[in-house]
Structure 1
């Protein structure tokens, strides 16, 4: 008898919680900037996300050209958190158009040869996991700074992709039904 009550309680709990954990992918698509960046100047572009889902992982795409990409410092900012994607890396490379993510665990930092087993991505200079657990909602800013003189460049575009889970909590009516089920089972025991 107790086992049946425990099974019913467990089933009610599973049904209640199953509506909470919905995973998803949010993708911004290509965000065009198309702006030149003179020596020792900064370009910032902002994207506003409306989803309230909670971030599990972040991918950042960055596309720019310069006669010396190693002059660039690229930072992603959201909700007071700042993460360096590129920190004056690349030296005399003339372009970067790649994805960056912590999930490319075996990948080198840019501009070495990409890890083809992980979709040709690179590790960022700092960990993007700083955004994990935050809501995706709000402004995301990409800031590109040409930190040295003698070479200018052009910022083409950027993009974001998030794996997320729902921030929903069970509706009060769902919790009330669960509580009534528990009370019903408990009253059956005491009435016998």
Structure 2
């Protein structure tokens, strides 16, 4: 009987052990997901032109305490410069929240901050505030050319005009002009650049260069050390960089878009030639 009793005890113990081991997973500890961390997913470290929208949106990811995506968290965006399309966003089913960022008017580093809190609305998530930086640059200087060949002279008082159209609108900060003109006795030529407003004009050169022939890659730049008024026929064909007779800085502050007109007057008869091409380097912000 003792042996049967012991066997009964052993079987009962095994049953209890088996029952204990076969408990469902529902008896394991459970947790309620809550927002725990904010991370940058994409859009950081971009470079863009001032006052333009960055190519990619700023996207952040919200995770719960187990590292999974968390939906329903409020994310607030703010920028030190520029504007943002969405000030407050709610993370979606993938834990994502995003905004588009238009940079401000100053070049350099711009910061955007994304902040999010736990359910109590007070405790910041791990990683919050999240700071995203973008570099804002000025509009690159645009080299534009008109390659159309036009006659210059030979009749006295003949005027040749050629236009370069600037499609983009920005505030002009600097302009340089390059000329290629085949013409004998360049002293006959009076050359001006006229802004799209039709009233602002700058004298590039008037009656300079004596009996010298041709302007070949002749650049007019306010920052040059040589003066076009000091040139003589010996400097022909004037392949150099010169300060114009007027100041190209007169164009600074104007809007870039529209037709920029090169006006050439041949003020003496007999000598003639051609405008081969001319180009405009225009910079702004």
TM over 0.5: yes
- Tell me the equivalent position of 1:190: none
Say which of 86, 89, 94 aligns to 2:205. Answer: 86
Q: Structure 2: 5+ residue runs without aligned partners? A: 1-77, 84-102, 107-136
The aligned runs of 1:1-192 (5 Å cut-off) are 14-16=80-82, 19-21=104-106, 22-37=137-152, 38-40=154-156, 41-78=158-195, 79=197, 80-97=199-216, 98-104=218-224, 106-109=225-228, 111=231, 120-165=240-285
Q: 1:15 & 1:35 partners in 2: Cα distance?
A: 47
Higher strand share: 2
Q: Structure 1: 5+ residue runs without aligned partners? A: 1-11, 114-118, 166-192
Q: Is the 8 A contact 1:25 1:161 kept in 2?
A: no
Aligned-pair RMSD on alpha carbons? 2.3
Larger radius of gyration: 2
Higher relative contact order (CA 8 A, sep 6+): 1
CA deviations 1:63-86 (Å, max 9, x no partner) are: 101121110011110112011111
Q: Is the 8 A contact 2:186 2:210 kept in 1?
A: yes
Secondary structure of 2:249's counterpart equals helix
TM-score (norm 1): 0.70
Q: 1:155 & 1:122 partners in 2: Cα distance?
A: 19
User: Number of matched residues?
Assistant: 149
Higher helix share: 1
Q: Is the 8 A contact 1:31 1:157 kept in 2?
A: yes
Secondary structure of 2:284's counterpart equals strand
CA shift at 1:90, angstroms? 0.9
Q: Is the 8 A contact 2:227 2:244 kept in 1?
A: no
TM-score (norm 2): 0.48
